[in-house]
Amino acid sequence: MKTRRDFIQQVALTAAAVPLLRLPAIAHPLREESQLRVAFMGLGGYANRVADAMKDCTKARITGAISGTPSKLSDWQQRFNIPAANCYNYENFDKIKDNPDIDVVYVTTPNGLHHSQVLRIAAAGKHVICEKPMALNAREGQEMVDACKKAGVQLLIGYRMHFEPKTLAINNMRNSGVFGKVKFFQGQCGFTIGDPTQWRLNKELAGGGSIMDIGIYAINGSRYMTGEDPIWVTAQEVKTDPVKFKPGVDETIMFEMGFPSGAVASCLSTYSMNYLDRFYLIGEKGFAELQPSTGYGPIKGRTHLGELTQPHKTHQTVQMDEMADIILRGKKPVIPVNGEEGVKDLKIIDAIYAAVKSGKKETLHLG
């Protein structure tokens, strides 16, 4: 890898030195041989997890970093062999547009920052991978989709489960009719959140509480497990610790959805329980269970036909290799991971919060 990486880096640097040869972002997409060159924006826990997982990537590698903390930048430079020239802070990262060594920026900052940051990345002509939720609400999300479209860059959402082998196996089985007509989906996602001072419990930065962080897995899962988009949602919120969970930061929300086929979903999102990470799909002819369904470790799955045996691969490794193929070579993923999908999830989140307030069934138009 070292030689190959050095070679590519050298080519890139050469390109940077010869502006006439430089291709605009819009023209990057269909490189056949090269790796996807990724800069991380926001060097927190999750960025570190993805970056570590990328050590095993064959199609993607880290070439840049953006952070407001100089010590984090120097740490990353060392750990991931990132040239100082490819490091930016939040004031100057628009200059990334002049850096041919970076294809895509992976945004792992707090939710509330995604919108403005993605607009700036798009304006810099770079592709974007944005962690979920892509924004605080669907309006912001749509603006991000529109901005990326206008700039001619791709916008992908960090849906790592969309590439997970057992999840994909169930998806394929459902498409082949193994479960018959889908009737019901259950998604239960949550954990007991720690440090009360973290940004995830700050309304301004997180945009909400558990739903934004972990409930979104059940929301998104309800769509890729059933293969449908919901048409209505109801929701009930319960708060047992109003000190830890300030106004606008949900602790526990149950929500239910209806789908065009008549299938229904019953979901749980919580920041105050452990022992739950389960997807359960019922069809007329069988069932599928994923438990754990979304954790970082190995996913376990079974259906009415038996245990699923697809070997575990680190989700983020597979995700980044697959996203390289999507961005560079136009590969179409089995389950879409584009910005439009992120907006759909946000429309559901908007409706869940609306349903909590109204106490009524909210109609969904995911388009």
Q: Which is nearer to a second copy, 112 or 283 (CB)?
A: 283
**Minimum Å distance from CB 273 to a second copy?**
5
Q: Which is nearer to a second copy, 197 or 274 (CB)?
A: 274
Whether 132 is catalytic: yes
Identify which range of 56-64, 94-102, 121-129, 262-270 contacts a second copy by CB under 8 A: 262-270
Q: Does 234 bind a second copy (CB under 8 A)?
A: yes
Nearest CA to 359 out of 209, 208, 236 is that of 236
Q: Residue with structure tokens 């800069």?
A: 39
Q: How many residues bind a second copy (CB under 8 A)?
A: 30
Identify which range of 116-124, 133-141, 151-159, 248-256 contacts a second copy by CB under 8 A: 248-256
**Minimum Å distance from CB 140 to a second copy?**
29
Q: In what order do the strands lie in the sheet with 155-157?
A: 87-88, 60-66, 36-41, 104-107, 127-130, 155-157
Question: Per the residue annotation, which of 132, 166, 344, 347 is the catalytic one?
Answer: 132
- CB burial of 190-215 (b: ≥16 within 10 Å; e: otherwise) equals bbebeeeeeebbbbebbbbbbbbbbb
Q: Which is nearer to a second copy, 54 or 219 (CB)?
A: 219
SS (H, E, C) 239-280: CCCCCCCCCCCCCEEEEEEECCCCCEEEEEEECCCCCCEEEE
CA separation for the pair 253, 64 (Å, rounded): 38
Identify which range of 53-61, 200-208, 212-220, 269-277 contacts a second copy by CB under 8 A: 269-277
Q: Which of 46, 90, 184, 191 binds a second copy (CB under 8 A)?
A: 184
Q: Does 90 bind a second copy (CB under 8 A)?
A: no
Identify which range of 156-164, 265-273, 309-317, 329-337 contacts a second copy by CB under 8 A: 265-273
Whether 106 is catalytic: no
Q: Can you say whether residue 264 is alpha, beta or left, with left for phi > 0 and alpha for psi between -120 and 50 degrees?
A: beta
Q: Residue with structure tokens 């840049």?
A: 64
Q: Which is nearer to a second copy, 154 or 252 (CB)?
A: 252
Q: Which of 206, 249, 264, 323 binds a second copy (CB under 8 A)?
A: 264
Q: Which is nearer to a second copy, 228 or 322 (CB)?
A: 228
Q: Can you say whether residue 146 is alpha, beta or left, with left for phi > 0 and alpha for psi between -120 and 50 degrees?
A: alpha
Pairing of strands 232-238, 252-258: antiparallel
CA distances from 258 to 30, 115, 297 (A): 40, 29, 30
Q: Which is nearer to a second copy, 313 or 361 (CB)?
A: 361
Q: Does 270 bind a second copy (CB under 8 A)?
A: yes
Q: Which is nearer to a second copy, 89 or 358 (CB)?
A: 358
CA separation for the pair 100, 309 (Å, rounded): 42
DSSP string, 172-222: HHHHTTTT-SEEEEEEEEE-----TTSGGG-HHHHSSSHIIIIIHHHHHHH
Identify which range of 65-73, 124-132, 249-257, 340-348 contacts a second copy by CB under 8 A: 249-257
Q: Which of 275, 307, 332, 365 binds a second copy (CB under 8 A)?
A: 275
Give the catalytic positions in this structure: 132, 217
Binding residues for a second copy, rule: CB under 8 A, are: 183-184, 186, 188, 234, 236, 238, 240, 252, 254, 256, 258, 262, 264, 266, 268, 270, 272-276, 282, 284, 286-287, 304, 359-361
